[in-house]
Amino acid sequence: MKVNRISLIGAALAVLVAGGGPALARISEQEAARLGQDLTPVGAEKAGNADGSIPAWDGGLTGVLPGVVPGVSRPDPFPNEKPLFTIRPADIPRYKDRLTPGQIALLERHGGSFYMNVYPTHRTAALPPEVYQRIKDQATKVELEDGGYGLANLGLSTVPFPIPKTGQEAIWNHLVRYRGQAFDRRVIQAVVKRDGSFTPMIYHDLLTFRSGVPETPDNADIVLKIVQKILQPQQLAGTTLLGIDRVNPVRQPRQAWMYNAGARRVMRAPEIGYDNPGIGADGARTNDNYEMFNGGLDRYDWKLLGKREIYIPYNANRLDARGIPYEDILKPGHLNPDLLRYELHRVWVVEATLKDGLRHLYARRTYYLDEDSWSIVGGEHYDGRGELWRVSEAHLIQYTEATVPFYCVETLYDLLNDRYIAFGMNNNEPYEIKFDWRADDEFYTPSNLRRIAN
């Protein structure tokens, strides 16, 4: 007998969240009816902007494009386009209304070496039709609970709040956004010093998301499962992380285990979260800087500041091109600006302020979420004195063979120490990201971690 997967997970989730505190208001049927009409299926404005510099959304970039070989090559879908204009430090007054404080700080900090080439806007983000249907089916059912730090009735929706009313709702859209069912990738992380020197660290990432977990009641509250193995440098090779995130990280905090290659032991790793330092990152990023933001929302008060039109990294196929030496990408102070592409898009702006009595390295954070994919594409992180400390950017690509918008490179720039960290590059790795990878529940277990590591 075939079981309806959405019903199974939805029913199990209802049991899991029962009695966990009052749920917050969901959107109305009238609001949900706008999805696919004046709003896109994920809740973005379908129309372009007033001056036409942002076009209307026409379904995004779908289908395997000519020259794309999944896992092997991904040519630029707009190879003949030239920048409309370039923003340099002297141009800040002219364009400041469409720049973020972080971008302005980078331009001012690095003088003429950092500039922003702005190209025509293409709203390429697209998801599979069945994903759109799930979003619409669940739009009037999903609720925040436990003060907004957990989700109720999520089902298999990947945009629980297509018409967000709060900052927490917008951030939850990022946390559970569609990234395919699962993927396998080999990527480089590099901490780039002031003089431009770096030591590449190679990771093997294996992730399964909510829409890809086996359809059992035990998985009803899963957001994602991840195994991350360090392949290089040699002194850390074999160190492997296992993490499991759920829909209510306050009630069910992240579970994490680490295989220590030196000790040849699997150990609990409760420190994998919040502002603890990322593995192998030399203190250049926190754990919750991974994927721009991840983990529990409970240390901050979140405020939705509305929408802006700003220049954001988009359609970054040139940056992702196969065979580019990492030395040509990673320059002193910042990524090579000749490889970057900025476009004008609408973003949701969310501000997070540290709660009284709680601790985190960042006292305040601002995030910019692309309206078409719900991906965080930029952010600012402020220290305890209120000074802008770190600036983050994520460079988006539409992976057409899987109908997935996702990052090819994430960056976190340290304005106080003149260094930065870049994560996600695979220009010279054996294969690109593979969206057809699958694993069963037994793969993501502490007992299997030693086998994965060796």
Q: Look at residue 88 and tell me whether its pLDDT is greater than 80.
A: yes
User: Which helix H or strand E contains 258, and what residues bound it?
Assistant: strand 255-260
pTM of the model: 0.93
Question: Left if phi > 0, otherwise alpha if psi is -120 to 50, otherwise beta: which for 50?
Answer: alpha
Cα 70 to Cα 63, 67, 125, 184, 400, distances in angstroms: 12, 10, 18, 12, 9
Q: Look at residue 326 and tell me whether its pLDDT is greater than 50.
A: yes
pLDDT at 15: 32
Higher confidence at residue 219 or residue 336? 336
pLDDT band at 25 (very low <50, low <70, confident <90, very high): low
pLDDT at 341: 98
The pLDDT > 70 percentage for the chain reads 94
Cβ-contact 391, 99 below 8 angstroms: no
pLDDT band at 214 (very low <50, low <70, confident <90, very high): confident
Beta bridge partners of 183: 207
Q: Look at residue 73 and tell me whether its pLDDT is greater than 80.
A: no
Chain centroid offset of residue 289 CA: 10
pLDDT at 19: 35
Chain centroid offset of residue 31 CA: 26
Lowest pLDDT segment from 4-13, 172-181, 216-225: 4-13
Cα separation, 53 vs 46, in Å, equals 14
Q: Could you tell me the domains of the chain?
A: 29-453 (2.50.20.10)
Nearest Cα residue to 351 out of 308, 313, 394:
308
Token couple for 29:
């049927």
Burial pattern 223-243, b for ≥16 Cβ within 10 A else e, equals: bbbbbbbbeeeeebebbbbbb
Mean pLDDT of 91-116: 96
Q: Look at residue 23 and tell me whether its pLDDT is greater than 60.
A: no
Higher confidence at residue 69 or residue 419? 419
Q: What is the pLDDT of residues 143-182, one digit of tens each?
A: 999 999 999 999 899 999 999 999 999 999 999 999 999 9
Q: What is the pLDDT of residues 117-141, one digit of tens each?
A: 999 999 999 999 999 999 999 999 9
pLDDT at 24: 56
Q: What is the pLDDT of residues 430-441, one digit of tens each?
A: 998 999 999 999
Q: What is the pLDDT of residues 184-196, one digit of tens each?
A: 999 999 999 999 9
Supply the mean pLDDT for the chain. Answer: 92
Mean pLDDT of 262-286: 93
Q: What is the pLDDT of residues 346-396, one digit of tens each?
A: 999 999 999 999 999 999 999 999 999 999 999 999 999 999 999 999 999
pLDDT band at 9 (very low <50, low <70, confident <90, very high): very low
- Characterize the bridge pairing of strands 182-192 and 201-209: antiparallel
Mean pLDDT of 402-410: 97
Mean pLDDT of 270-278: 94
Nearest Cα residue to 378 out of 336, 407, 416:
407
